[in-house]
Structure 1
């Protein structure tokens, strides 16, 4: 298999690329190495993909000629995007429109014009649901995003459906539920919590900590994404991908205290704009159609991420 992976230097994209080359695929990774967080961290992620079957293109999806890259691929894994709910408000929204909507449209357009017409796998988000009407939330639930970020990810899904319907592209959108694990971005909660636990610094927690999330280990996410390349499903399909267990932020903090043997220094802050009280995914469809099931529970996943954070701090 020849694969194009966008966002290949990031948390999920680098983990996916490493898995694909380990399974024998030839991978071209594209990333603009934005300064949303340290580019050195992203280059470290790329350095872990030690294979002559991986090549890297440093480019912006809104500027590069995409057709030559897409034409060589059997599957396009579109993982790239501007992340983060809090930064998507106000003047920051234009960057989200560019990275999450315009870039997705350009990539779909290029894919639709190639003779090879590779499969297109899009990384969406549980943020499209907002405060869902029911839990666990299934894929036919009315999307009600509560952040501009969620709006842009939903727009990307709609573009995938549009190109599936009008151009016959084989697109699959995967709604990720709170991904964690080694290489998680430094601004994300688990990396912040674990780093603070090991260094004895303060942990800022937004809201009461009783917010409930379906946390999903990165290897389980990557397994679902990889399977999406080969499963035979209807063009424009959408699937939830979640770890299968709902836990509060306070439960996570308790587990981190147990794993590190250290009392945490927690400061409570007001709720963040766009935050939701709960996420919980219905995953019957992906378990059936992908023969997929999550394998990593929260404690084991946190232990793995803890060891990664220890390594990062040791190298700093």
Structure 2
């Protein structure tokens, strides 16, 4: 019998990448999200069935027919912005934590053995030392966004312990790739293509990040789903895995590489101001991820070249 995966937040950046990846691997993919797509458009996006709705009790009730055929959920529905969580913390909470409460209650009643794959975040680590961050480290979030991700992990652990719902939280670090129209690389590409001779960015430039291409992020979600559902009995627990390359790169270096790829000669400067919710150092310990039998395939050089080619077409230089 063909395995079915439900992708929430299915119209989003990671959601669509997951849909394409699961479908290519032979899964039946059902999507839930905000997108008024025709059947043909939904199929192009990677979906066999599409529901244009948020993660509400009504929308989930309409999916109750999936029942035991539902083997996995890629729960990508969430607030995806640290600044938004600071500006609108209640709505950000509902989008991240509230949607998860709804989903877990539905699964408890209708699909208690489906494994929940949750794209958590390095923001759970928050303010951390300049060393590889271990899944066993004590969380120390510095934004509502990070706290909300930690709350979801706690909900997943509770439902695993109390109701037997298996789950994997993937603490992704900096996901990037074609189609991402927000965050540092999108903002920087627009500015670097503007033709101006210098550009000033927040911070010192010495902040470190650990990047993972969106296709690798989706491949990791699929790998963990296959690994869980291949087991004779799926353990009723929460597993936490970092999702990253394990490569430490400064913000300055990433922007300089991006500028070269975009053909920009702009001088890159930094204002020394640290924005609220932005930790200084992010580097993942990736031994646990490697132990699952998976490693990312896209190098940062290739991934940035991929992103720059897309950004150049999506954001042509100003006349």
Tell me, yes or no, whether TM beats 0.5.
Answer: yes
Counterparts of 1:33-72 in structure 2, within 5 Å, are 47=41, 49-50=43-44, 54-62=48-56, 64-69=58-63, 72=66
Of the three residues 181, 189, 192, the one matched with 2:184 is 189
Question: Structure 1 residue 267: deviation in Å?
Answer: 5.5
After superposition, give the CA deviation of every residue in 1:45-71 in whole Å (9 maximum; x if it has no partner): x94852785222111213534144265
Q: Name the structure 2 match of 1:75.
A: 72
SS of the equivalent of 2:133 reads coil
After superposition, give the CA deviation of every residue in 1:114-167 in whole Å (9 maximum; x if it has no partner): 156311111100000012256201101000000011000110011000000000
Q: Name the structure 1 match of 2:28.
A: 26
Is 1:96 the equivalent of 2:92? yes
SS of the equivalent of 2:227 reads coil
Q: Mark the runs of 5 or more structure 1 residues left unpaired by the alignment.
A: 34-38
Counterparts of 1:147-296 in structure 2, within 5 Å, are 147-184=143-180, 186-200=181-195, 203-232=199-228, 234=235, 235-264=237-266, 266=268, 268-269=270-271, 270-289=273-292, 291-296=293-298
SS of the equivalent of 2:145 reads helix
User: Per the alignment, do residues 87 and 151 of structure 1 end up closer, same or farther by CA in structure 2, a change over 3 Å counting?
Assistant: same
Distance 1:8 1:156 in 2: 18
Cα RMSD, aligned residues only: 2.4
Question: Structure 1 residue 102: deviation in Å?
Answer: 0.9
Distance 2:209 2:133 in 1: 12
Q: Name the structure 2 match of 1:117.
A: 113
User: Per the alignment, do residues 206 and 47 of structure 1 end up closer, same or farther by CA in structure 2, a change over 3 Å counting?
Assistant: farther
SS of the equivalent of 2:107 reads helix
Distance 1:197 1:166 in 2: 51
Distance 1:224 1:97 in 2: 26
Distance 2:104 2:112 in 1: 13
SS of the equivalent of 2:149 reads helix
Query: Contact 1:71–1:117 at 8 Å: present in 2 too?
Result: no
Distance 1:131 1:52 in 2: 37
Aligned residues: 302
Question: Structure 1 residue 24: deviation in Å?
Answer: 2.1
Distance 1:239 1:145 in 2: 17
Distance 1:239 1:154 in 2: 14
Distance 2:62 2:168 in 1: 22
Query: Contact 1:5–1:30 at 8 Å: present in 2 too?
Result: yes
- TM-score if structure 1 supplies the norm length? 0.88
Query: Contact 2:170–2:240 at 8 Å: present in 1 too?
Result: yes
Q: Name the structure 1 match of 2:231.
A: none
Distance 1:95 1:229 in 2: 30
SS of the equivalent of 2:30 reads strand
Question: Structure 1 residue 261: deviation in Å?
Answer: 2.5
SS of the equivalent of 1:75 reads strand
Q: Mark the runs of 5 or more structure 2 residues left unpaired by the alignment.
A: 229-233
Distance 2:199 2:179 in 1: 19
